[in-house]
């Protein structure tokens, strides 16, 4: 046997040893049929190589190296990143018969943007403000005193504009005093069948007063967030016959919280989050909607010295 043949056969034997264990582990799958056939073909060619055919020997050694450096088992798949944005970013690769991964093919095609917290049209932006919110209001341009009559707000006289306690800017809303019933004030915005609305709220105590942020379809209450005297932030869900108020998290007095509600029309569900916390599951709303078009601020004071605050209605 020629020396160069011994070298090539040794390379083949090393490769055979590395693949035998893998092939034996899953004999029923037999993933290396194509590779074994390639090796057999190389062995046949080795027998026919001329003594000085160095170019041919080099080519065979290169092919053996490729087989040894294979990346995967033929026909296996894996998730990959297409390099695109949004839902277009996730793709799938298929392992070819040569043991190397194929191109990354995206799983989803771009679609029109909807208010679902996902970049549907693959432009790098999650939703758009126009599709999301009912209204934006930071109260900064209002005069101190009654909120009723300013900026299209309509409701009880318990709600006032002030500048001493704000989340941002110069002004925020305050409600004070002990009340026997809930006091409320409303503002209409852009009707949304699918959307998301945030309101910043705080309370002077976490054991005496109730501060609300409510979403409505006309006069129909769909859902709401509440700072409750139990010391927890809770939210209102349905069905209407058996409503409930699950607790999201404890809250502290004199602390601002961003309360966000999201709703979708595909199955008439709502979900909730506080600040940068996790979204809740999608829930049946307190009442169903055609389009949500109104924000309501509510106050139920149980302490004559207590106060509730609201600021920056919009989206975070």
Tens digit of each residue's pLDDT (9 = 90 or more) over 145-195: 999 999 999 999 999 999 999 999 999 999 998 777 789 999 999 999 999
Q: What is the pLDDT of residue 303?
A: 77
3-class DSSP state for residue 198?
strand
Q: Which residues contact 26 (CB under 8 A, 6 or more apart)?
A: none
Q: For the segment 100-138, what is each residue's pLDDT rounded down to a tens digit?
A: 899 999 999 998 766 566 788 898 877 655 457 999 999
pLDDT for residue 308: 96
pTM for the complete prediction?
Answer: 0.62
Q: Compute the CA torsion angle 106, 109, 115, 117 (nearest 10 deg).
A: 0
Q: Work out the percent of the chain whose per-residue pLDDT is above 70.
A: 77
> Cβ distance 198 to 259 under 8 Å?
yes
Residue 228: which pLDDT band, with cuts at 50, 70 and 90? very high
- Identify whether 176 is preceded by a cis peptide bond (ω within 30 of 0): no
Q: Where are the alpha helices (DSSP H) in the chain?
A: 3-25, 33-47, 54-68, 129-132
Question: If you search the block for the tokens 């004071």, which residue do you land on?
Answer: 301
């Amino acid at each position: 046997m020629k020396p160069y043949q011994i070298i090539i056969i040794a390379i083949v034997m090393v490769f055979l040893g590395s693949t035998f264990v893998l092939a034996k582990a899953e004999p029923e799958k037999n993933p290396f049929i194509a590779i074994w056939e390639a090796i057999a073909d190389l062995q046949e060619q080795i027998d026919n190589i001329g003594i000085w055919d160095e170019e041919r020997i080099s080519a065979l050694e290169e092919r053996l190296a490729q087989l040894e450096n294979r990346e995967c088992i033929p026909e296996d798949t894996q998730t990959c990143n297409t390099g695109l944005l949004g839902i277009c970013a996730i793709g799938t690769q298929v392992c070819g018969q040569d043991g190397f991964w194929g191109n990354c093919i995206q799983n989803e095609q771009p679609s029109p943007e909807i208010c679902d917290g996902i970049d549907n049209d693959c432009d790098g932006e999650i939703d758009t403000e126009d599709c999301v919110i009912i209204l934006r209001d930071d109260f900064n341009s209002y005069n101190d005193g009654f909120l009723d009559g300013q900026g299209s707000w309509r409701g009880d006289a318990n709600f006032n504009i002030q500048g001493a306690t704000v989340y941002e800017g110069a002004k925020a809303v305050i409600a004070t005093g002990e009340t026997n019933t809930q006091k409320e004030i409303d503002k209409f915005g852009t009707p949304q069948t699918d959307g998301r609305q945030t309101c910043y709220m705080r309370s002077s105590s976490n054991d005496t007063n109730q501060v609300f942020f409510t979403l409505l379809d006309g006069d129909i209450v769909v859902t709401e967030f509440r700072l409750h005297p139990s010391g927890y932030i809770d939210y209102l869900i349905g069905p209407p016959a058996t409503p409930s108020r699950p607790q999201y998290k404890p809250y502290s007095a004199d602390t601002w919280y961003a309360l966000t509600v999201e709703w979708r029309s595909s199955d008439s569900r709502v979900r909730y989050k506080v600040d940068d916390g996790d979204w809740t599951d999608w829930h049946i709303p307190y009442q169903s909607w055609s389009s949500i078009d109104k924000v309501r601020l509510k106050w139920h004071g149980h302490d004559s010295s207590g106060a509730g605050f609201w600021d920056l209605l919009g989206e975070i």
